Structure 1
Amino acid sequence: MRMLAFIFPGQGSQRVGMGRDLAETYPECRATFQEADDVLGESLSTLCFDGPEDRLTLTENAQPAILTASVAMYRGLTARGLAPACVAGHSLGEYSAHVAAGTMAFADALGIVRRRGRYMQEAVPVGEGAMAAVLGLDADEVGRACADSGQGEVVSPANLNAPDQVVIAGAREAVGRAGEASKRLGAKRVVPLTVSAPFHCALMQPAADRLAPELRALEVADPTVPVVANVDAQPKLEAAEAIEALIGQIASPVLWEQVVKRLASDGADTYLEVGPGSVLTGLMRKIDRSLRAVAADSLPTLDHAKESIG
């Protein structure tokens, strides 16, 4: 019997128009966007459906927007009989996973991720940090390149996404040096990323310190299904440890390859990417091609997912 895992995307997956067809078709999806508008006191739904793109991509807008689109899709799937045995999310997506698992209320998560985005943006002045994707070099070698390139500045692996894809983050010049060092060690390509801040590195510690008391003050419950955390690739089964993992992930690398391998070792053989885009589905093929992965981010793909998995 198949074991289904839901995986939720992170920042960068946003796009203008996301969720519109779902909200126009399914009451539970429409209600999700309406709830977000009510909680935030502004029309997040209009921003998701109509843009403008430059406002949607701002970190403090993108994070609640992706959360809302993902939760709307999740509710659409569960209303049609699809339920996960376990969940995980990439960076911001871990909050969507915890909403799905019942650890925290959607309304609470909305406020938290908006402030998370703001705190992360404010932790490093614009232009002083950078991120880059290192392709075709394993994580140990990328770590070595970073260690040899710091020169007193922060640079480290930030997203360990797949065997041949590691994102690095830190001070702008240090990231540049680490990228060149990675090429010398055999990387096929180093691609600078268009981001507003250097996420998931030590420069984000001020953001973690600001968000920690707010997360610890939330009314939470033990997850109804295991949530495999970014920070250590371990399943969280209790609310308190789930919150500490969310605090820890802000300034720590996302161990996505290990997360997927842990889900697989626990028996998950079918993966449904719940939210905008199909980035995680693509990474699944790089991590383990034997695992079945389907993306569901719109009305046609939701119907396809239900037919192919359900």
Structure 2
Amino acid sequence: MSSLWVFPGQGAQQTGMLQQLPDEQSVQRCLSEASAALDEDVLLFDSELALQSTRAVQLCLLIAGVAYARLLQAQGCEPDYLAGLSIGAYPAAVIAGSLAFDDAVRLVALRGQLMQDAYPEGYGMTAIIGLDQATVEALLAEIHSAATPVYLANLNADNQFVIAGSVEAMTSVAQRAKAGGAAAAKRLAVSVPSHCALLEQPAQTLAAALADVTVDAPRIRYLSGTTARPILSADKLRDDLAFNMCRVIDWRSTVQTAYERSVRLHIELPPGTVLTGLARKVFEQGTAIAFQGARLDSLVALSREEGRRNP
């Protein structure tokens, strides 16, 4: 038996998420390190107004993820596997020992700015719930064109997918999805078209920046959210971090891979609980729990129990 810590992607952000971090030494050190890396006060990033910026959102998700993970580590907890959805790959890489936190902060600031500059308005992402993948792909084929680009972006579950593209195209797909029996078609709190070919150029720019940053092979097993396979080398991790913004996320298979490798404890780092809900569809045995809303001592107890099963 083993454990998996997962880090959410954009859309999970919450107003005040950094202000609400626990007043613990490891957390305060994390905030100080992030502010020093940017020469900015990161506590200004989580207001409702600030979170309209893709750069601020991604930085908040990175900082919160690392802060809460370090809080668990300070209690003697360590995961056997790590995975992150989109931007969540960066805190996962930090906790895996592959990427220095200050480097991650600077890279994520660049990543968010590149994505924001590429598509400042008129684009985004929409969740389609209640249809199978083939049906969603058929709807995309009906609407997609050079003038109305729209792509499959996330495979979250057997009947839950995310599409990315222009607002006009996504609206058309959503209307047809609902008419075809979808339970819901909901715009996400993401203002850029992630995980599709529209972000190929920003990804290339980020890859060039990553080439100048030290990246080490993961010391904790790291699952790619795009390939759903373990990444063992520094070069492959560098590629994963640079290009996950323009590649389809296969979260369904990522969670399934962890379960097939005997993971029976899934902890979702804040903010949010969406990934926990998705994991429960896979974890027929074991426990899927979100840090948000749980007691720290309960998470520590679960981690220690799982550790005893996996000496």
TM-score by structure 2 length? 0.91
Unmatched tracts of structure 1, length 5 or more: none
Q: Which one of the candidate residues 237, 249, 257 is aligned to 1:254?
A: 249
The residue number in structure 1 matching 2:29 is: 31
* Mapped partners of 1:130, 1:52: distance in 2: 21
**1:47 maps to 2:41:** no
In the TM superposition, what is the alpha-carbon distance from 1:186 to its structure 2 partner? 2.9
Paired positions, count: 303
Q: Which one of the candidate residues 229, 233, 236 is aligned to 2:231?
A: 236
The residue number in structure 2 matching 1:132 is: 126
* Mapped partners of 1:241, 1:233: distance in 2: 13
Q: Which one of the candidate residues 88, 95, 101 is aligned to 2:90?
A: 95
Instruction: For residues 91-140 of structure 1, give each alpha carbon's deviation from its aligned partner in whole angstroms, at most 9, with x where no partner exists.
Output: 1001111001011101000000111011111112412x232110101222
2:299 maps to a residue whose letter is A
1:98-137 mapped onto 2 (5 Å cutoff): 98-127=93-122, 129-137=123-131
* Mapped partners of 1:291, 1:203: distance in 2: 38
In the TM superposition, what is the alpha-carbon distance from 1:21 to its structure 2 partner? 5.3
The residue number in structure 2 matching 1:15 is: 14
* Mapped partners of 1:97, 1:194: distance in 2: 22
In the TM superposition, what is the alpha-carbon distance from 1:223 to its structure 2 partner? 0.3
Distance 1:20 1:151, change over 3 A: closer
* Mapped partners of 2:254, 2:138: distance in 1: 22
The residue number in structure 1 matching 2:139 is: 145
8 Å CA contact retained: 1:33, 1:68: yes
2:124 maps to a residue whose letter is A
**1:69 maps to 2:48:** no
The residue number in structure 2 matching 1:6 is: 5
* Mapped partners of 2:284, 2:175: distance in 1: 30
1:209 maps to a residue whose letter is Q
Distance 1:52 1:218, change over 3 A: same
Query: Aligned residues: percent identity?
Result: 35
SS at match of 2:49: helix
TM-score by structure 1 length? 0.91
In the TM superposition, what is the alpha-carbon distance from 1:291 to its structure 2 partner? 4.2
Instruction: For residues 149-191 of structure 1, give each alpha carbon's deviation from its aligned partner in whole angstroms, at most 9, with x where no partner exists.
Output: 2134321111111222111011222222222332344322211
Distance 1:16 1:151, change over 3 A: closer
8 Å CA contact retained: 2:153, 2:195: yes
2:30 maps to a residue whose letter is T
The residue number in structure 2 matching 1:181 is: 176
* Mapped partners of 1:76, 1:307: distance in 2: 14
SS at match of 2:263: coil
8 Å CA contact retained: 1:124, 1:204: no
8 Å CA contact retained: 1:19, 1:72: no
Distance 1:288 1:148, change over 3 A: farther
In the TM superposition, what is the alpha-carbon distance from 1:220 to its structure 2 partner? 1.1
Distance 1:117 1:303, change over 3 A: same
* Mapped partners of 1:252, 1:285: distance in 2: 25
* Mapped partners of 2:248, 2:131: distance in 1: 17
Distance 1:193 1:101, change over 3 A: same
The residue number in structure 2 matching 1:305 is: 299
8 Å CA contact retained: 1:14, 1:57: no
In the TM superposition, what is the alpha-carbon distance from 1:146 to its structure 2 partner? 0.7
The residue number in structure 1 matching 2:209 is: 214
In the TM superposition, what is the alpha-carbon distance from 1:295 to its structure 2 partner? 1.2
8 Å CA contact retained: 2:226, 2:249: yes
* Mapped partners of 1:242, 1:7: distance in 2: 16
SS at match of 2:161: strand
Distance 1:287 1:186, change over 3 A: farther
* Mapped partners of 1:8, 1:209: distance in 2: 24
In the TM superposition, what is the alpha-carbon distance from 1:289 to its structure 2 partner? 4.3
1:155-170 mapped onto 2 (5 Å cutoff): 155-170=150-165
Unmatched tracts of structure 2, length 5 or more: 305-311
8 Å CA contact retained: 2:21, 2:64: no
Distance 1:28 1:194, change over 3 A: closer
The residue number in structure 2 matching 1:294 is: 289
State which drifts further: 188-197 or 207-216. Answer: 188-197
* Mapped partners of 1:161, 1:234: distance in 2: 16
1:250-289 mapped onto 2 (5 Å cutoff): 250-289=245-284
